[in-house]
Structure 1
Amino acid sequence: MAAKRAIARTLKTGDGKSEHLGKETTEFPNPLRPAETSAVANPNTDREAARERASRERRARRYADRRTLWKISSDRTCRGCGRTVMDPESGVILAQTAEGTAIALGLLKCGKIWFCPVCSAKIRHGRAEEITAAAVSWMQQGGSAYLVTFTARHAATDKLADLMDAIQGTRADKDKGTTRKPGAYQRLITGGTWAGRPDRLDADGNPDIGIRGRVGYVGMIRATEITVGQGNGWHPHIHALVLVGGRTEGDRKDKRVVEVFTPSDDALGELEDHFRAVWTRHLAKVDPSFKPSDEHGVDFKRLATARDAEDFGRYVAKLQDGHKSISPANEIARGDLKRGRQGNMTPFEMLGRIGDLMGGVLEEDAPGHGDLSWCLGKWAEYETAVSGRRAIEWTRYLRQLLGLVGGDTEDDDADLLFEIDGASEIRAGVQLQTNTWHKVTGRALDLAATEAVEGHGLDLDAVTEVVTLAGASAASVRLLTPGEITEAWDATLAKLAERRDAAAARRRVER
């Protein structure tokens, strides 16, 4: 506790009040960095500086919230994310990229898009770019895209798991012998009205191709988001980017677009009516109290041009600076940037409030609502209800149809994190011993150590100052060249592969 108070004293606000441990932000003077000098007022420079401050504050909040996650999560990988060293003999490498940013090599990354604020930000950023690329690709070909939002009626007494089962479907449980049951979302694109009945003729005497054929349905990209409030309880809702206006041939991996057209107003009206009817009917069947009103259950917004979709990519960065507009790509993917409405909290806002309350902030001073016990209970319920579910899901083979690669499973999310790091050109770096990193994270200096590596030139003194402040020896920090970083990282990966192979061999013998 004495160490925590000592570190907290180094993070003083201008009015003399200190933030609690783990909530340091860039508004506070950083004792590890020189003070910035004032320049002649320039509106562009001021705006850029404000964006930089906002970005750094969000990053500081994510790291602080991840430290809270270490303490309260029931997920073992989340408790070790960013602090568990993959190979204790190799330690941790903090590398500086050619762009001046820092990446950490040798640390466990949970890749949990639902739970971890640090991993989620990176994954969702990559997913937002993916979604933008899909929308641009399809609209440039002449297709149409719609942003459709699906909501369910909810009350404070409703369990999140029940609501998620209703809209997303149940999960299979091998131990209980249960199979997966579709939710309202899956029901949207099933049945003869949707898929057509080739053995029947329509009003014009042609085979019935269904709503799917008449609108030229190509696929959907779906994201589920959740907020919670004391008054109305859990509010899960789905945003879907629906691509229409295409005729396809082939099946599964061989499917290809053979024609692009503009659906008629009548066909689009059929699509809207079908989605509303199926959505509300299924929810009412599961639980009458879940049935939404016709006004709020399903909402359609059309994307007018490919230029609209291209703008969405730029909004990724703007939204991180607090931009109020939400693009369809970010509406779907960037749940980490959103704030709850009408008194509700997003899960990450709730995580932040938990950290505040655990750090000694008074309930009335901490953003959000609910006492610590209520927030902890809701977070535990949230982890159980969404574990194993996909936050973002594409129609199968839609990526291939649009010329994109990848997937949307948890393994794909984890791969995306490593791809982001692997795509960077390394300029320099430092290697920290495992016990040193444990001291750094134990004193909530993981972000300070990361920031010390960033910039246009690696400052070894800044890194060693963080390390010594954490109570470790400056001799435990080793400066590395790009070649040495590659060599050390390859050696770490080789050791991990050997251990996996040895573990697999032991399991074979035991079986």
Structure 2
Amino acid sequence: NTPHYTPLAPPLHPEKCQPLGTITKLQATPENKGLQPIAPSEAVKLVELFALQELSCDCLTKKEERTNKKGIKYDTYVHRVNYCLRQRIDSMSPVSVRYNEKREKAHYDNVQRCGSVWTCPFCGRKITEGRRQDLKTGVSNWHKQGGFVYLVTLTNRHHKGDNLPDLLKGQSKAKQKLWEKRKVKEMMKDLGYSGRVTATECTWWNVNGWHPHYHILMFFDHEINAQGLQTFLALEWQTACVKAGMKAPSLENGVDVQKGDKAQEYVAKWGLEDEMTKGHVKKGKEGGLTPFDLLRQSVDNPHYSHLFRQFADAFKGKQQLHWTRGLKDLLGVSDRTDEQLAEETEKESIEIKEVANKIWHLVLQYKIRGEYLTACKLDHVEGGINKRVENLVMEYALKEYERLKRKQ
């Protein structure tokens, strides 16, 4: 006796049925190394990243109406993270899993990338790692030319209850006024200033609320007095904030200038992939919470979900890094968009599995993208002797069958 067929419902006797999904022929024969299980930390990290992305999607559910080229209206998510690593690029082709033998990493293919550095842990990691390499290249090339780099931090006074979009707008206006001041331009010229890279970061403090701030790498053709620059900029930044309608920062805390070794340390730590110490992606210190900290803790504190939505809406479409005109060319840095960085694929990878559409729906429904990807990698490395993918799919197919059975 077999139940009425549904797309994801297996027969009552699953041990007699064929495994769901299809497996493509490998394009390369892996070297037989015996059992090479994936490092637990790597597997856990992958699952955590997918879980974090799921939390982001759960928080960012707002939709808007759009009209396509044929004049048909449709609803779409405001934040593209809801489609990232979920929706297919080519709807006529299935999702597949590819594997890089050299890096020993697997990834999904034919799935969209949202390119959001602010709300997606996957794209955020990839984009910021690319940006770190840009910064590293730029700083290294400048040092080879005999130049010096300093790290400047700009902050302003803020209090709990301050509106984040207003803070960002005010700070941006103050920053513009600072660099447009004639006195500042003349001082920079006298110091041999050649350009700057501005990174926008934001944390949340339970005492003082949102804390958006700027970290700026400033490039000079010779060594300067860091303390002297800090004293000069502190007064000019204070004046610029007041003119922009912001609360005046103190002369002691509004500006901080660090010597070149601190600038190099900032560049080195900003994009470390394994530690996730990339600006907004890194874990906050000394009581401050990064947006992704808020997302992690939103499971236990719904208020943090609200704060993450505030952050996502306020930062949507904003640049993470801004280079002054001509600086990339001067430093020999290529110009790549966030979308280009996010969509870069493993050129040396091989396809190891094609995922049937019904299986992909099952994987999405039960939120097991990390587990499925890990199982595919292990099956490939182990030569498929443990049938991890087959067992995983069968486990959740049975769960789906039981769910459908209860609905009848």
Is TM more than 0.5 here? Answer: yes
Q: Does 1:469 align with 2:398?
A: no
Q: Does 1:155 align with 2:159?
A: yes
Structure 2: distance between partners of 1:396 and 1:114: 24
Q: Does 1:72 align with 2:59?
A: yes
Q: Check whether the contact 1:90–1:433 (CA below 8 A) recurs between aligned residues.
A: no
Q: Check whether the contact 1:96–1:454 (CA below 8 A) recurs between aligned residues.
A: yes
- The offset of 1:264, in angstroms, is 4.9
For the aligned residue pairs, the C-alpha RMSD in angstroms reads 2.9
- The offset of 1:136, in angstroms, is 0.9
Structure 1: distance between partners of 2:79 and 2:381: 36
Q: Does 1:293 align with 2:293?
A: no
Structure 1: distance between partners of 2:265 and 2:306: 41
Q: Unaligned regions of 5+ residues in structure 2, if any?
A: 1-33, 63-77, 399-408
Structure 2: distance between partners of 1:310 and 1:353: 29
Structure 2 counterpart of 1:470, one-letter code: Y
Q: Does 1:415 align with 2:367?
A: no
Q: Is the alpha carbon distance of 1:383 and 1:189 closer, same or farther for their aligned partners in structure 2, counting shifts above 3 Å?
A: same
Q: Does 1:438 align with 2:361?
A: yes
- The offset of 1:314, in angstroms, is 8.0
Percent of matched pairs sharing the same residue: 26
Structure 2 counterpart of 1:103, one-letter code: H
Matches within 5 A, 1:248-327: 262-265=222-225, 271-288=229-246, 290-304=247-261, 309=264, 313=268, 316-317=271-272, 320-321=274-275
Q: Check whether the contact 2:96–2:351 (CA below 8 A) recurs between aligned residues.
A: no
Partner of 1:345: 289
Q: Is the alpha carbon distance of 1:55 and 1:232 closer, same or farther for their aligned partners in structure 2, counting shifts above 3 Å?
A: farther
- The offset of 1:123, in angstroms, is 1.0
Q: Is the alpha carbon distance of 1:160 and 1:458 closer, same or farther for their aligned partners in structure 2, counting shifts above 3 Å?
A: farther
Structure 2: distance between partners of 1:297 and 1:457: 54
- The offset of 1:65, in angstroms, is 1.0
Structure 1 counterpart of 2:321, one-letter code: I
Structure 1: distance between partners of 2:42 and 2:217: 27
- The offset of 1:113, in angstroms, is 0.3
May I ask how many residue pairs the two structures share in their alignment? 346
Q: Is the alpha carbon distance of 1:388 and 1:428 closer, same or farther for their aligned partners in structure 2, counting shifts above 3 Å?
A: closer
Structure 2 counterpart of 1:392, one-letter code: L
Partner of 1:244: 220
SS at match of 1:132: helix
- The offset of 1:135, in angstroms, is 0.8
Deviations 1:256-283 (A, max 9, x none): xxxxxx2454xx6664344222321122
SS at match of 1:188: helix
Structure 2: distance between partners of 1:282 and 1:311: 26
Q: Is the alpha carbon distance of 1:348 and 1:283 closer, same or farther for their aligned partners in structure 2, counting shifts above 3 Å?
A: same
Q: Check whether the contact 1:96–1:458 (CA below 8 A) recurs between aligned residues.
A: no
- The offset of 1:376, in angstroms, is 2.6
Deviations 1:300-327 (A, max 9, x none): 111149xx8499548854x7348xxxxx
Structure 2: distance between partners of 1:339 and 1:115: 15
Q: Is the alpha carbon distance of 1:138 and 1:220 closer, same or farther for their aligned partners in structure 2, counting shifts above 3 Å?
A: same
Structure 2 counterpart of 1:403, one-letter code: G
- The offset of 1:88, in angstroms, is 2.7
SS at match of 1:167: helix
TM-score under structure 2 length normalisation: 0.76
Larger relative contact order (CA 8 Å, sep ≥ 6): 2
Structure 1 counterpart of 2:341, one-letter code: L
TM-score under structure 1 length normalisation: 0.62
Structure 2 counterpart of 1:65, one-letter code: L
Deviations 1:164-223 (A, max 9, x none): 01112xxxxxxxxxxxxxx2222332232233xxxxxxxxxxxxxx22221121111111
Q: Unaligned regions of 5+ residues in structure 1, if any?
A: 1-33, 38-48, 169-182, 196-209, 246-261, 323-329, 358-370, 473-511
- The offset of 1:61, in angstroms, is 2.3
Structure 2: distance between partners of 1:215 and 1:56: 50
- The offset of 1:53, in angstroms, is 5.2
